[in-house]
Amino acid sequence: MATPIELGLLLVVAIAVIAAYLVLRALKPFIINAVLGLIVLALAGVLGFEVAVTPIVVLVVAVGGIPGAILVLLLAHFGLLFGPLAAVAAF
């Protein structure tokens, strides 16, 4: 026979599992978008676009996803930010 403490712990664990599932289900599109953005940035580097990969670039692409990657690529292409010379000039 299960004690009230065991039943209470089982209820708490069940609620925690359900809450974790709901949170992960809500975050899934954002995680996929961030991974696709990083893949776009890596693919652009393979195709010859010169982008200085700094922690700020990775953060912009991870938060912005594909639109963030396109923004970084456009800014680097026009020489405004994130170009290879911009990373050297910053130090």
Task: Give me 34's structure tokens.
Answer: 């961030």
Structure pTM?
0.66
Contacts for 81 with CB less than 8 Å, ≥ 6 apart: 72, 75
pLDDT tens, per residue, the chain with 91 residues: 889 999 999 999 999 999 999 999 999 988 898 889 889 988 988 998 888 888 888 888 888 888 999 999 998 888 887 776 554 555 5
